[in-house]
Amino acid sequence: MTDKMNNGTESDGLVFVTGGTGKTGRRIVELLEEKGVPVRIGSRSARPPFEWDNPKGWNDCLEGVNSIYVSYSPDLAIPGAKESISTLLDLAQRSGVERVVLLSGRGESEAQACEELVRNSGLEWTVVRASWFNQNFSEGAFTEMVLSGQITLPAGEAQEPFVDVDDIAEVAVAALTEVGHDGEVYEVTGPRLMSFDEVASDLSKATGREIEYADIPHEAFVEHVKGSGAPKDVVWLMDYLFSTVLDGRNSVLADGVERALGRPPRDFSEYAHNTAASGVWETSG
């Protein structure tokens, strides 16, 4: 069994973290362990294994679990996500789970349909509705662009209030372990709206290298993603995000981090400085 416990024994407070090795999940696991909260990691490599496309194994994963953090990969907008979330919530309710925290996305009708499932699940619930992650530029799809010195995306002059994944993790852990968060929708963003030109400028300052933003046609971007060998669902998601979500609907700040944690969110410049210091963006040239 791969549960990570403070004292090696299960307790009524066992938290199951889906996507437990991903951007938000691994940070949540670390924070819960620091608090001495028993954790079960949900991933293909865990025992018992958790896979979104194999519900037959979910009962074992939910045994003895008190709370669940739900992060659907790669995104709640993907076709089939709603059905998977519905099945997991039904099993959780029958298994005696008491609380669910859902990672959701801003401006996505499909994600909000999944939020509605959580509201009607019969469980205590909290929704963490996040803007785009800072860490997409260091742990995700845009990392290679930063390393190459050119962020090539079909985003035009769109502005996005990028949020730090560490803030998301802290909000989720508060909702999983503290009273007072039941029934809350925490819409979490960073403290400022940023164009991709401004992102490139902050990254240039942090790395000491010239990093530019180049706006490219949407069709050319999608063809490039296809040519990179990305899975079909990732190609679909990139097409969807850049053709719909960046249309201005999310160009507004929200106060979810402050409401949940009592402090302002981290700024992108802080993230860029700390990440540059870690060596992630160092090049050999």
Burial class from Cβ neighbours inside 10 Å (0-12, 13-18, 19+) for residue 261 reads: middle
Taking 50 as the threshold, does the pLDDT of residue 2 lie above it?
A: no
pLDDT at 285: 58
Contacting residues for 215 by C-beta, under 8 A, at least 6 apart: 153, 154, 155, 156, 196
pLDDT at 10: 33
Taking 70 as the threshold, does the pLDDT of residue 11 lie above it?
A: no
Evaluate whether residue 7 is within a structural domain. Answer: no
pTM of the predicted protein model: 0.94
Evaluate whether residue 9 is within a structural domain. Answer: no
- Lowest mean pLDDT of 170-184, 215-229, 264-278, name the range: 215-229
Evaluate whether residue 101 is within a structural domain. Answer: yes
Backbone angles phi, psi at 278, to 5 degrees: -75, -15
Evaluate whether residue 2 is within a structural domain. Answer: no
Q: How many domains does the chain have?
A: 1
Evaluate whether residue 284 is within a structural domain. Answer: no
SS3 content of the chain, % helix, strand, coil (to 5): 45, 15, 40
pLDDT one-digit tens code per residue, 115-132: 999 999 999 999 999 999
Taking 60 as the threshold, does the pLDDT of residue 269 lie above it?
A: yes
Average pLDDT of span 151-160: 96
Evaluate whether residue 243 is within a structural domain. Answer: yes
Output the domain CATH number for residue 200. Answer: 3.40.50.720
pLDDT one-digit tens code per residue, 204-238: 999 999 999 999 999 999 998 999 898 999 899 99
Evaluate whether residue 5 is within a structural domain. Answer: no
Backbone angles phi, psi at 154, to 5 degrees: -90, 55
Domain range enclosing 272: 15-277
- In what order do the strands lie in the sheet containing 124-130? 39-42, 15-18, 67-70, 99-105, 124-130, 184-188
Q: How far apart are CA 236 and CA 134, in angstroms?
A: 21
Evaluate whether residue 113 is within a structural domain. Answer: yes
Per-position b or e across 17-45, b if 16+ CB within 10 A of its CB = bbbbebbbbbbbbebbeeeebbbbbbbee
Q: Beta strand 99-105 with 67-70: parallel, antiparallel or unpaired?
A: parallel
